[in-house]
Every structure is written in structure tokens, then in C-alpha cells.
Amino acid sequence: MDTNESAQQVIDWLDQNQSIFIEMADQIWRTPELAWKEFKSSHLQADYLENEGFSVTWIGDLNTAFMAEWGEGKPILGFIGEYDALPGLSQKKQPTKEPIHEGEPGHGCGHNLLGAGTVASAVAVQKWLKSNDKSGTVRYYGCPAEEKGSGKVFMARAGAFDDLDAALNFHPAHLNTPSKGGAVGVNAIYFRFYGQTAHAGGSPHKGRSALDAVELMNVGVNYLREHVKDDVRMHYIITEGGKAPNIVPEEAEVYYFIRAAKPDYLAEVVERVRKVAEGAALMTETTFEVLFEEGCSALLSNHYLADLQYQAMQSIGPITFTEAEIEFAQKINDAFPGTNSDYIDDKIEYYKASPEIVAALDEYRDQPLVGRNFRALDEHIIATGSTDVGDLSQIVPVSLLSTTCFPTGVPGHSWGNVAASGMSIGHKGMLHAAKIMAVTAVKLYSDPNHLVKIHLEFKQQTGGKPYVSPIPEDVKPPHYGPEGD
Ligand SMILES: [Zn+2]
């Protein structure tokens, strides 16, 4: 059987069985759960996969992380799903803002689609391997806490991805495109200072202010900014600054995100920030401790894998949206500032788009939904946000696919995304992603040469250096009971 026939088999299976995964995505959408508390979402997927013959293992001491495996031998391909929601984004399936339950969570990043679409892809590939008597292993990873908590970093530290040959994943977005870009890594750290309290009016000379130390540390870091590489980002908030102006603060705390594109350089900058804290403590005669909260590594993209995904996209064709969907999307766009055309301009600038891409995007200036497939647009871009896919990408080759699940002008993590994630626009983007990942996987199982090339590139990117977890050994993920709290 040639690969075209194989590709058609997985596409047909996904078309015939789409209602299962639309229902799975909708069910997760209806019961949005926050990071580390995705009990219903993870069990819904694990139970389904178990019924389909996968063997399910819950990973380490992480409540809501699991791996579902089917098949035997090499290659072992990982399908990487997520399912956590965002706080305060409850929203009805309608194009105007109205929560279902005020203040409750909602799927503002489309992770209901991300998880269910990736399950769909893994099962489509399993059926294809089975019906064609092919060897190879399919694994689905249910990954918790992407929005907050860096679940994959803990899974990576537990060795969950170590023996994968390649990983496939996607993220709901505004365009269909694989990725050749990078993203910076991040360390999230609290610096907590301890001083000596005193009456600020009566005997200030007896006080040693922890807040002074926090302020001086921030001043020091703001000077440090000039002497770091361009990709470095350092941002902070003061999480504790004392109780009243007439009490010299005994304790104060500042919370930092420190980002850089290379893991080694990130570690170097973190050490320099720590020295600034040391200086601030010395100046104010206070002490401090460093409380590491979370971190994730820089993202690498495998270009060869991105090109395979683009080939798959071309063979599948664009997403076709109905008039009703286009109207729904336009109403959402109208609710946010800027026009569809402004959004296209932003994308052209951000991607430093080639004339060919500019011409293609120009066709969508008046469209609230972009159904067309694009080759990787971000080849030279290092995003200055971070994702825990970074840690996965330092262990195994991956290219994070995007598919159109959201109206063009809707900002990330907004009620507009929640609305689109719960209806047919999101479902279509999800199925498109499931097909692209499945067709790509079929190619990887069918022709070992692809993986040889993918691994050659991966080795060049990492320099063959083994993965080092960005989180210290003693940092453990939080635990919540099944009822949550
Ligand atoms: Zn997300």
C-alpha cells in the first residue's frame, strides 16, 4: 500500500468517527478544570483509550498526567495532549460576552480541542497500524497544567518522554501552519527577604526593611537589563510589601519571570539576578531565600517534521467554513478592538512574511476565519513567551502545529476563544489537526528514512547535549484531591 492510500485510510477513519471526538471536546469544554485539577478531563480520555485497547499508566506523583500505549516495537511516536482551562473565562457558546457561571474557568486556550483532537489522531493511527498489521508503538500523553504549572516539565523530569522517536502535537490558533520557530525558556522564582521590624516613626534606626531590599533588588535588575542578550526578558511583581507604612516591613517578596532562548544562558542570567538579590540584602542588612516556583526550557522546532506536516496539510486541503460560522466569527471579532485587516498586518510584520505569504494573507483581509494552509511562517522567530512543550522539544523532535480554531482578531485567553472552542469552528480546526498529525505519523511509520533525517537535525540543534531539567529536584508539583480546592 502506498502512503497516499494509507493517508486516505486515517483521514476516512477520522471523518467517520468525528462525532466521538467532538463529544469528547465538548464534554471537557462543559466541565473546565484548572491546572493540576483536570480529574474529569484526564479520566474521560484515559477511559476512552483503555476501551480502545490502550494500556494506561498514570505518571509518577502527578495526579492528572497519564500515558496510554498501544502496539509493539519501534518507532515509538508520542501524541501530546493537554486539557487544562483558564480561570474566570466562563462563556456561553455565543458571539457576545456572557458567562455561563460568573468567575468560573473556561477553555480560553482551546485545550479541550487540543486534547480531544490529539486522542483522535492517536486512535486513527492505531486503527491503521492494526488493520495493516504494521509494527510500531502509539502513545498518547495526557499532560496536565500547561497554563500554569508546567506539567510537561515534571513529566520530562520523570523520564516519561525518554524513549520516544518523535512527538506530534498541535495548538488551537488563528492559522493552519506547522512551526519552525523557537521560544525562550523561563524560570519563575520568588525572592523572599527577611529584615527586622520596628516602629517606622519612633525608632526607624532599629529597623531593617525587607521592602527596601526588594526595591533595591528591582533597581539592580533594571540596570542589569542593559548587559544581557536581546532575547532575555525579566519581569516582576511585588507579592508582599509589608502591612502598613508605620511598620518597618519584616518580610517582603518579589516574584520574577526570567526568560532566555538558550538553557545555559538562562541559568547564567538567573545566577546574575541572584547576585543582585545578594547585593540588595548586603545593602539593607537583610537576608533572603530563593523559592523556585516553576520553569520550562527553550522550544526547538524540527524543520524536517514541519515540512512533513505541511505536505500532509496540502494533501488534506484547507478548512471550509460555512456562512454561519463566518458570521459568528465576525461578531466575535467586532467585539474586540482592531479589524481583521489589522490582524493580518500584525501577522505580516511578526512573521517578517515573504511576498508569497503576504499575497496569500492579503486574500483574508476581510475574512474573520482563515481556512487556508500555510507552510511554516515562523522560521526565523524566537517567541518571547514560553511553553512547557520546550522541555519535550529538548528530549524528542517536535514541531508544534497550529490550526485555525479561533476567529482572526480574537486575543488569546479571551472569552471569544472560549466561545469558538465550544462550537463547530473549533471542532473543524481540531479535526484538521487530527488529520495532519495522523497523516504525518503514517509517513513516519511507513518510511524509516524520515526519522533518520529528523534525528540528524535534532542532534545538530541540541549539540547532542542531554536534557537537564530546569526545576530543582526538591520542587514537587502541587497536589489536589479529586474534589479540588
Ligand atoms: Zn494553550
| 335/365 Cα distance (integer angstroms) | 17
What is the per-residue pLDDT for 60?
Answer: 82
Compute the distance from residue 441 Cα to the ligand 1 centre, in Å: 22
pLDDT for the residue 3: 80
Decide the pairing of beta strands 76-82 and 166-168: parallel
Confidence band for 113, pLDDT divided at 50, 70 and 90? very high
pLDDT value of position 430: 98
Band the pLDDT of 148: cuts 50, 70, 90. Answer: confident
CA of 298 to the centre of ligand 1 (A): 16
Question: At 214, is the secondary structure helix, strand, or coil?
Answer: helix
Asked if the model's pLDDT at residue 458 lies above 70, the reply is yes
Please give the distance, rounded to the nearest whole angstrom, from the Cα atom of residue 193 to the centre of ligand 1: 34
Q: Provide, rounded to the nearest whole percent, the portion of the chain with pLDDT above 90.
A: 84
What's the 213 CA to ligand 1 centre distance in angstroms?
36
User: Which CATH number describes the domain made up of 3-181+299-462?
Assistant: 3.40.630.10
**Cα–ligand 1 centroid distance for 111 (angstroms):** 6
Count of CA atoms in the C-beta half-sphere (13 A) of 248: 21
Least confident stretch, 27-31, 365-369, 449-453: 365-369
For domain 185-296, give its CATH number from 3.40.50.720, 3.30.70.360, 3.40.50.1450, 3.40.50.150: 3.30.70.360
481: pLDDT confidence band, cut at 50, 70 and 90?
A: low
Going by pLDDT thresholds of 50, 70 and 90, the confidence category of residue 482 is low
Domains of the chain: which residue ranges? 3-181+299-462, 185-296
How remote is the CA of residue 123 from the centroid of ligand 1, in Å? 22
User: How many angstroms separate the alpha carbon of residue 82 from the centre of ligand 1?
Assistant: 8
Where are any strands of DSSP class E within 261-344? 287-296
* Nine-digit cell string for 221: 535588575
DSSP 478: -
| 170-173/401-404 β-pairing | parallel
Rounded percentage of the chain residues whose pLDDT exceeds 70: 99
**Cα(457) to centroid(ligand 1), Å:** 26
What is the spatial distance between Cα 405 and Cα 318, in angstroms, rounded to a whole number?
A: 13
Cβ burial of 253 (10 Å; 0-12, 13-18, 19+) is: buried
Tell me the whole-structure pTM to 2 decimals: 0.91
Spacing, Cα 11 to ligand 1 middle (Å) = 25
Query: What are the residues whose beta carbons fall under 8 Å from the beta carbon of 456, sequence distance 6 or more?
Result: none
Provide the residues around ligand 1 (an ion) whose CB is within 5 A.
109
* Distance from the alpha carbon of residue 320 to the mean position of ligand 1, in angstroms: 24
- Distance of CA 145 from the midpoint of ligand 1 (Å): 10
Q: How far is the CA of 204 from the centre of ligand 1 (A)?
A: 48
Lookup result for grid cell 469552528: 425
Q: How many residues can be counted in the chain?
A: 485
- What distance in angstroms lies between residue 416's CA and the mean position of ligand 1's atoms? 14
CA–CA gap between residue 432 and residue 472 (Å, rounded): 38
Q: Report pLDDT for 483.
A: 52
- The count of other CB atoms within 10 Å of the CB of residue 157 is 18
Ligand 1 centroid to residue 251 C-alpha, Å: 35
Are the C-beta atoms of residues 452 and 302 closer than 8 Å to each other?
no
Q: Cα of 265 to ligand 1 centre, how many Å?
A: 26
Quote the ligand 1 centre to 37 CA distance (angstroms). Answer: 16
Q: Residue 327 Cα, ligand 1 centroid: separation in angstroms?
A: 25
Give how far Cα 164 sits from Cα of 127, 129, 399, 409, Å: 20, 17, 14, 37
What number is the average pLDDT over the span 419-448?
98
How far, in Å, from the CA of 133 to the mean position of ligand 1? 36
109 C-alpha to center of ligand 1: Å? 5
Question: Does residue 1 carry a pLDDT above 80?
Answer: no
CB 236 within 8 A of CB 257: yes
Neighbours of 447 (CB within 10 A): 11
CB 298 within 8 A of CB 232: no
Q: Which region among 166-180, 218-232, 346-360, 398-412 has the lowest average model confidence (pLDDT)?
A: 346-360
Q: Is the predicted pLDDT of residue 484 greater than 80, yes or no?
A: no
SS3 category, 260: strand
59 pLDDT band, cuts 50/70/90, is very high
Distance 36 CA to ligand 1 centre (A): 15
Q: Are 371 and 404 in contact, with CB atoms under 8 Å apart? A: yes
The amino acid occupying position 209 is: S
- Residues 20 and 24: their CA atoms lie apart, in Å, by 6
